Chain A
Amino acid sequence: MPSSSAEAGSAQVPDVLTRGVLGALKIYKAVVSPLFTGSCRYLPSCSDYMSEAVERHGAAAGTALGLRRLARCQPLGGCGHDPVPANDPWRALLSRRPQ
């Protein structure tokens, strides 16, 4: 078995760090995010994107992906449908976005 714990998915209990980041995002979405409803240029929204990325790829790669997305979510960035890469998060991080 390949020992890629981050991508093992639902079978594994997420580690403390992952749960911490997910918890923080949940609080953000409940308390802060309603202030900015409809401000995100993308779908899924930046916070949803980050949650999903962390769930799928673990705290480190997921947070990195989320921050990368956040950096693009400004008037000079792109917009539209932009799903979390299904696998190989680090390569997705390094490559230029295909869109």
Chain B
Amino acid sequence: MEKNVIIAVILSFLVLYVYQAMFAPKPVPKPKAVQTELAQGSAAPGAGQSATPGAGQPATANAAAAAGADAAAPGLAPAGTVVVSDTEARDVVIDTDMLRAVFSNRGAALTSWQVKRYKDKAGKLVDLVPQTLAGAAKPFQIDTGNAAVDARANSALYRVDGGGAARDPKKGTYQIAFEYRETNGVAVRKHFTVDPRNYTVGAAITAEIAGSPANVAVVMGPGPGDVETSEASQYLMGARAILYRNGKVERHDSSALLSQPVMEGPMRWAGVDDHYFLSTALVGSGAARVEYRPLATQNSQGKPLHTFVGYTFNPTGMGVDTTFFIGPKEFEILKAIDAELVRSIDYGMFAWIVVPLLGALNKINGYIGNFGWSIIALTFLINLAIFPLRHKSVVSMKKMQALQPEIKAIQDRYGKLKATDPGRQKMNTELMELYKQRGVNPASGCVPMLLTMPILFAFYSMLAYSIELRGAPFGLWIKDLSVYDPYYVAPILTGITMLVQQKMTPQTATDPVQQKMFMLMPVIFTVMFLWAPSGLNIYWLFNNLLAIGQQYFTNRLIGPARIPRPAAERRLTKKGDGSV
């Protein structure tokens, strides 16, 4: 009965896993994207259709009255004469080996942010400002709470100081200053400091309405615009809100944001991220109010295609003087900006193992230059560290084999009993006593065994969530260590090594059900590993190979095991107790 239960559980796990792996990640057809604004329209200034009331209402009068009241200067026309601006639209381009950023003087906003080290599947540079969303707000537009002013401030042509970006040769940063001014006291100044080496933008923004400073919030358009994740996938997560407050990372997906779009209070950083990219305001120690706007795209059949999340960032004080990070979640870069920013990488519960593991892997890769070989080198180092532990267990395994005749004698004596028989317990006790007397123990214990699991999971998280390993090739047919082996060679080889390892290990399980399970394990493991990142298979494969090698050479070198025969045993044999 118990046997059936176990088999049922394993089978259902298998079915579940195979189903997920085979049917879930179907490629979604890519028809023209239809956008649906999930959040309330009023929260999205500059989104084109912002304040458009229903047809047939006496809207114009109301809107004009509202605008007049908002302007707090009833004598002035809503749109004053422009005094400082530009006559033509121009792009300010910063182009380095790591980044190509384009600011437009229309609204003094960011229109493109291409991270040059990362390409999408089509081989194009990843642009973190989504280019497919027509009419969506662009990063660094503003929200003053006055819709009429915002509409002009986000569409006007700003004057660019010096006509472009000025490079600071000492710091390696680029400065851009935008200005827009009307006669009625509306004035907006934006000063950006772009550091292409760590993907940050310092934004100093002030706004005046009717000559007095206005509270201004930064509108960060929908993002991140990682093109690759615009294909819905089981393995890559879409955009969601992420923020760090009260010493904890909070993640909110778009459905949660619909019911609770506003996050307030002291926070260290707040923004949006997806699987590999992050756009965030680095608040530091201050307080802020962040309002999120999820934006879902659908295909022509109305099926969800991708989710972007925009956010409006409003720090305390009238103006804005905040640095933003818009870039790949590269461990070393994030760490250099803020140690706690590293936690935006979703390594899960074993992050405390993943972090040193990735640190070591990055170091090794600095010498080797190929992450596949680096994984092998790291596996070798891990095995070197546990060499003494394993040596002990290999030696006692050898002794075990020498004891085999005696073990068999005991087993035969109890052989007819069923697994549930209490006499069986007695046999186990007797076996254990035998091992103990001879100083033999085949097992290294539960702790080392259980420890391999977190390390395996940590390897998985590292491979699946580190941008460093995204698209990292190994060689031959393995083009990307972070996704599964397309020909399943690595997992099948891994399964074979498990089988070999098992054949070399003396069987200690006496229960036939357990023995069958034991034999089934390499098969179950192989199936589980079929769709795992190929890097994980490479780790496990070499781990097994090293273990097999160590066992083989130890056995060859130490020769037959010498086992002390205890006095009690000798006396027993002299008495002529043939059954022992």
Are A and B bound to each other?
yes
Check: B562 CB closer than 8 A to any chain A CB.
no
> A31-B9, A75-B393 known; A39 and B521 CB under 8 Å?
no
Q: Is A79 part of the contact surface with B, judged by Cβ < 8 Å?
A: yes
Question: Are the CB atoms of B429 and A39 closer together than 8 Å?
Answer: no
Is A77 in contact with B509, judged by CB distance below 8 angstroms? no
- Does B435 sit within 8 A of A, measured CB to CB? yes
Encode A41-80 as 1/0 by CB contact (under 8 A) with B. 1110110000000000000000000000011011101011
Judging by beta carbons under 8 Å apart, are B443 and A39 in contact? yes
A36-B449 contact in complex given A43-B428, A43-B432, C-beta closer than 8 Å: yes
Question: CA A9 – CA B468 in complex, angstroms?
Answer: 56
The interface centre, meaning the residue of A36, A42, A45 with most chain B CB atoms within 10 A of its CB, is A36
> CB distance A34 to B428 under 8 Å?
no
Instruction: Evaluate contact between B446 and A80: CB separation under 8 angstroms.
Output: no
Of all chain B residues, the one with the shortest Cβ separation from A82 is: B432
With a cutoff of 8 Å between Cβ atoms, the chain A residues found around residue B436 in the complex are 79-81
Contact A39 B446 (CB under 8 A): yes
Asked, given contacts A79-B441, A80-B432, whether A30 binds B446 with beta carbons under 8 Å apart, the answer is no
Alpha-carbon distance A71/B445, docked complex (angstroms): 10
**Selected contact of A39 from candidates B13, B449, B525, CB within 8 Å:** B449
> With A and B bound together, what is the CA distance between A75 and B25 in angstroms?
43
For residue A43, give the distance in angstroms from its CB to the closest CB of chain B. Answer: 5
Instruction: Evaluate contact between B9 and A80: CB separation under 8 angstroms.
Output: no
Q: How long is the Cα–Cα vector from A42 to B367 in the complex, in angstroms? A: 44
Interface residue B5 (Cβ < 8 Å from any Cβ of A): yes
- Give per-residue flags for B1-31: 1 if the beta carbon is below 8 A from chain A beta carbons, else 0: 0000110011001000000000000000000
B159 vs chain A, min Cβ distance (A)? 66
Q: Is the CB of B81 closer than 8 A to any CB of chain A? A: no
Q: B447 contacts A70, CB within 8 Å?
A: yes
Q: Which residues on the A side are within 8 Å of B518 (C-beta)? A: 34, 37-38
Contacts of A45 in B (CB 8 A): 446
Dominant secondary structure at the A interface: mixed
- Given the known inter-chain contacts A31-B13, A75-B393, A80-B436, please indicate yes or no for A39 contacting B517, CB distance below 8 A: no
Is there contact, CB below 8 Å, between A41 and B450? no
Tell me, in angstroms, the Cα distance from A81 to B521 when the chains sit together: 27
| Residue in A35, A71, A79 whose beta carbon sits within 8 Å of that of B447 in the complex | A71
Does B554 count as interface, using CB distance less than 8 angstroms?
Answer: no
Check A92 for interface membership: any CB of B closer than 8 A.
Answer: no
What is the distance, in angstroms, from B293's C-beta to the closest C-beta of chain A? 42
| Residue among A30, A43, A70, A73 making CB contact with B9, cutoff 8 Å | A30
Chain A residue at minimal CB-CB distance from B444: A75
Interface size class of A (residues with CB under 8 A): 20 to 34
Residue B256 is within 8 A (CB to CB) of chain A in the complex: no
- The docked-state distance in angstroms from the alpha carbon of A49 to that of B525 is 27
Cβ-based interface call for A40 (8 A): yes
| Cβ-defined partner of A81 (8 Å) among B6, B433, B442 | B433
> Known interface pairs A30-B5, A75-B389, A75-B393. Does A37 touch B428 (Cβ–Cβ under 8 Å)?
no
The answer to whether A34 and B432 touch across the interface, beta carbons within 8 angstroms, is: no
Task: Decide if A70 touches B432 in the complex (CB within 8 Å).
Answer: no
Docked-complex contact A73 and B429, CB < 8 angstroms: no
Report Cα–Cα, A36/B447, bound state, in Å: 11
B:495-509 near A, CB below 8 Å = 505, 507-509
Q: Do B514 and A34 have beta carbons less than 8 Å apart? A: yes
Shortest CB-to-CB span from B425 to chain A, Å, is: 8
Q: Is B448 an interface residue (CB 8 A)?
A: yes
Tell me whether A74 and B428 are in contact (CB under 8 A).
no
- In the complex, what residue of chain A is closest to B429 when comparing beta carbons? A81
| In the complex, chain B residues whose CB is within 8 Å of the CB of A70 | 446-447
* Residues of A contacting B408 in the complex (Cβ-Cβ under 8 angstroms): none
How many Å lie between the Cα of A74 and that of B6 in the bound state? 27
For residue A37, which residues in chain B have a CB less than 8 angstroms away from its CB?
508-509, 514, 517-518, 521
In angstroms, Cα B445 to Cα A42, docked, is 8
Per-residue contact bits, chain B 506-550, to A (CB 8 Å; 1 contact, 0 not):
011100001001101100010000000000000000000000000
Is A31 within 8 A of B447, CB to CB?
no
Return the chain A residue nearest B514 by Cβ: A37
| Separation of A70 and B6 alpha carbons in the complex (Å) | 23
B447, B520, B525 — which one has the most chain A CB atoms within 10 A of its CB?
B447
**Complex: chain B residue closest to A72, CB-CB:** B445
Least distance between A26 CB and chain B CB atoms (Å): 9
Quick check: is B418 within 8 A (CB to CB) of the other chain? no
**Distance of B498 from chain A, by nearest CB (Å):** 10
Q: In the complex the two chains form, is B448's CB within 8 Å of A75's CB? A: yes
Distance, CA A88 to CA B10, complexed state (A) = 38
B307-337 contacts to A (CB < 8 Å):
none
Note all chain B residues with C-beta closer than 8 A to A34.
6, 10, 514, 517-518, 520-521
B445 contacts A73, C-beta separation under 8 Å: yes
Q: Give A44 to B563 CA distance when docked, in angstroms.
A: 25
In the assembled complex, how far is the CB of residue B446 from the closest CB belonging to chain A, in whole angstroms? 4
Evaluate contact between B517 and A41: CB separation under 8 angstroms: no
Residue in A closest to B428 when the chains form the complex, CB atoms? A43
C-alpha gap A75/B444 in the complex (Å): 5
Q: What is the minimal beta-carbon distance from B374 to any residue of chain A, in angstroms?
A: 27
Partner of B432, one of A27, A71, A81: A81
Given A38-B442, A71-B447, 17 new contacts (CB under 8 A): A31-B10, A34-B520, A35-B525, A36-B446, A37-B518, A39-B444, A39-B448, A40-B443, A43-B428, A70-B446, A75-B389, A75-B393, A75-B445, A79-B436, A79-B443, A80-B433, A81-B436
Return 6 A-B CB contacts under 8 Å, by A number.
Answer: A39-B446, A39-B448, A41-B445, A77-B445, A81-B429, A81-B433
- Give 8 nearest A-B pairs by CB, closest first: A38-B508, A74-B447, A34-B517, A73-B445, A73-B446, A39-B449, A80-B436, A74-B445
